Structure 1
């Protein structure tokens, strides 16, 4: 009998693994609908949908291992990171999904609220918050919308023999800024940005990527703290903010 393993558990979502099957239970039923729809459109490998009865989505396990983990050195080869960049380019070149992502004004309001929370709770030195907020604000400019994954964390990308075997967690997929996906993928792994951009295969302005690194960290810390992931000062996101100049 296969044991039931809890992969993720908080008050919005629970993911369980039983053998080679993942069961995602989401409080927002629309999110699993969006995930299934996005995977059907994505021109990259995704988990196979076994069945979908909202609020539960059953997915087959992917082969291979995660490209890395935030806060830990990646053991994947440079070639695997190049392959990840090529996969992201295929996604961004595909016709975008109908779902609109948040625009600059909405994101600016979110950034302001999160920075106020970080300051009020003394999570980081005020200078670090101010410096990174200014950097993050430069990402909030007009962009040409593309098909973005929307939560392309490094541990959502699976590889085997330097090939991409699948990309997980498509519930945030929408039309958005290409730089955002590239930033989330390389967050905490700046040493692999060159590899990813080599695979992406076109000239990319790196400054918006750095700006999205700051935005992602500033806007994620409160959520992580409120969902039981530990002390904010110990999050990898906090270390990234300290390092950005």
Structure 2
């Protein structure tokens, strides 16, 4: 008998692993609909879909191992990171998915709301929130939409040696800012940005990526806390925010 492993579980969704099958249970059927459609459109390796019976989506495991985990150094080679960058570039160059993506006004309102919550509840020192809110402003500019994954965490990219074997968890895919994907993937792994961009190409905006590190960490923290995760774990969101305080003043404002 195969053991059942709980991969992740919170109030919105749960993912279970039984052997080489992942069962994703989500109370919102729209998430699975986006995931299925996005995987069918994406020009990168994705998990095979085995069956779908709402609220459950069954997908097969992809070969290889995750590019890394948040809070620990990535053991993947520079070539694997470069291959990941090339795969992401292929995604960003693909035709846009035909559903709406994040709106700039909504992101700005969310950032203000979450910063206020962090300050009102004394979750982080005022100066850390204020400085990162200042840095995050560089991400709040018009962008040319591309096909983004939308939740490109380091654990969602699988590699075997120097080859990308699969990218998973597509429920947030949409037209959006290319720099957002690059920032989420390197969140807490900023030292691997050069390796990633070696494969992605020279036109990435490092200042905007840095801004998204701050914005993503500020806006995700309350959700993480309320769903049983700890953004103050080593190498995670709070460490990302504190790291901005150690940067030279000119770099913070770039």
Asked whether the two chains share a fold, i.e. TM above 0.5, the reply is yes
CA distance in 2, matches of 1:201, 1:9: 36
1:116-150 C-alpha deviation (Å, 9 max, x unpaired): 11111211110000000111121010000000000
- Counterpart residue number, 1:233: 232
Q: How far 1:103 moved relative to its partner?
A: 1.5
Query: Structure 1 residue 93 and structure 2 residue 93: aligned?
Result: yes
| TM-score (ref. length: structure 1) | 0.98
- Counterpart residue number, 1:64: 64
Query: Structure 1 residue 9 and structure 2 residue 9: aligned?
Result: yes
Alignment of 1:1-245 (within 5 A): 1-230=1-230, 232-234=231-233, 236-244=236-244, 245=247
C-alpha contact (below 8 Å) 1:84/1:196 kept by paired residues: yes
CA distance in 1, matches of 2:193, 2:7: 28
CA distance in 1, matches of 2:229, 2:223: 9
Q: How far 1:190 moved relative to its partner?
A: 0.9
1:189-239 C-alpha deviation (Å, 9 max, x unpaired): 111101111100232221000000001100111011000113x43361000
Say what the alpha-carbon RMSD is for the aligned residues: 0.9
CA distance in 1, matches of 2:102, 2:42: 20
Structure 1 runs not aligned, ≥5 long: none
CA distance in 1, matches of 2:117, 2:47: 36
C-alpha contact (below 8 Å) 2:71/2:233 kept by paired residues: no
* Number of residue equivalences: 244
Q: Larger deviation: 116-125 or 11-20?
A: 116-125
CA distance in 1, matches of 2:214, 2:22: 32
CA distance in 2, matches of 1:179, 1:206: 8
Runs of 4+ with deviation above 6 angstroms = none
Q: How far 1:76 moved relative to its partner?
A: 0.6
CA distance in 1, matches of 2:9, 2:222: 17
C-alpha contact (below 8 Å) 2:95/2:147 kept by paired residues: yes
| TM-score (ref. length: structure 2) | 0.94
CA distance in 2, matches of 1:97, 1:234: 35
CA distance in 2, matches of 1:104, 1:31: 21
